[in-house]
Structure 1
């Protein structure tokens, strides 16, 4: 198991922007989208060249917005010389200063420690947001992509199966992924907790990535009556058309808005608050006696004084950040439970790995026994067998065939029993 290796740089080691510099520039294959139609793609060629250069038997390359990870099988020791040569080769397009920094920042794991690290990564206890499930999908997509490029083999296959099982057990047996920690998720949870009607009139101000995500949650919860305001009206239209009663408008139209609304969600780039007391007071709610204002903007989009109005509830980003911190702390308390599950999985994998080595070592045994049986019947005792009548010849075939199958299982079983005895005494 000592040949399992990990070289990684993560959000724990540097900022996200610098981490992006260390990703392979050939990373143009979108993991999970299937293999390119071309015979080879730049990423595949690059990874193959790395494997050839450093005598690597199998490799999985995992790159996300907050993680770079090379997981591979090699008999090389990951000493400073290896790491230096590795990054000078993989990052040859960067300046010497950046390469030196990558060498300094890299974390290295070998053997059981490498397996433990992979299990921790996939179980999301090493994620930027502890407990987020996206890393499991990213790991699976990465593995399948590398497998399709024929970069992985049996050694990484058995790790993959156990890693996915471990992650699922961690999510099932702990609360590590409970309680939302993203600002948008928390905002929608707060909204739903107020028992708002699905017929509520909603004003959505801004059509960037945040409100695009907000719109997905609103769709999921079956809201239909949405008016989207944005500087770029085409982006407002893209969101509005998802809803049965959606409409889209220019941000300038908001100044002359005189209709009613129940819920207002704003996230737009502005120097000053665009929603004040006057705007809120001019409207009366259509479906409830309370208006809900959700401010996801930085700087704030909604004047704090709006929250002091009667029958108005203001949910701002500072309040949501406080909830996020509380939930993150809750999740981090679950990490201890998760690590216990992972440690057991590593020990289970060690046994599995040893058994697999026995299976591979004895993989030629069935053919050898079969050849021996045929040689006995056709050569060693060939003359005698030919003198037998058809019934007895068939009987000999059946007896030796039965013994062949049984003989194959005996040494395998004995070897596994000896292995288990040895592991129990360690």
Structure 2
């Protein structure tokens, strides 16, 4: 039976939340503890009494696992954060509009405070890598696709003869690739080009388009045509294409002024590896938080409906163009048994689990697994949706377009 931390121990923990005035309850099968917030932080920790604005509830089995570390000193996957706990039995109920939406970051932090009062966790120290080779150059290029023209931003580094196109995850942009762009070993082998699709990062929507009157919802053809058109604009010959994971489950387009812009980006803190350097975790969240509202939801519409590898995966011939999945140990979407993630459904593909990692936070470890041979490389990207697994594949751009659009 799980035993919650003592009131005394929890009272010593710090959890600030400006503007939050509410009672947040942690509940197991047999006990409950309240954190009382009074506008500037926790004013009281007590045994539960009265009503709570938000309740984080789970079984004794859940809390027992969440309060334990593996022999390696790492949390058990699926129990390391509020985000991932909701895939293994944790529920969050209560005042969505008044508390959950505007204070989602505070709830994420409070979960960490609660479980770490029982089992303290030491993150890896943050190291700003590749300072001496951090020399990427940013440029703009006008690109034509779908009868439209867009001024697309990209950053470039490296002296290799093979071009490597790097596409960010849903709702993010090319800043995700800043470490890869600066890696001296990757620079020797590739001409690294990380770009922002229209609507993302420093690439505005297509010129002359009344985009504000439309819902951003790209399909497979739209997305891939912009990638190919961008490649043509730079006159690249058979470049490699690499895409990063879509990160989190699809979201809705619901948005009101009362809902914090951190509502969905806050999930990235919980979806990051539990011992990843804290600075890297918040950098990931920053990137997600800084893109235009609705872009994240629109990107996930494509990944949800435009690509179903249960139906089309067999068309990617593993013998002639192998696909490799590099899956973080804490990347739930890659190993999801219930919904059939790529590592589960596409068993003939080569899968490598990166220990200690989520999918976008362990730069040094990723580089070790990047190289396969001069013709094939891969970076895993996945989507968690019922009966509709998806993955971003690393293939030559034209080859992947021809195969998937013929599906």
With structure 2 as the length reference, what TM-score do the two structures score? 0.27
Specify which structure has the higher proportion of helix.
Answer: 1
**Bigger CA radius of gyration:** 1
Structure with greater proportional strand content: 2
| TM-score with structure 1 setting the length | 0.27
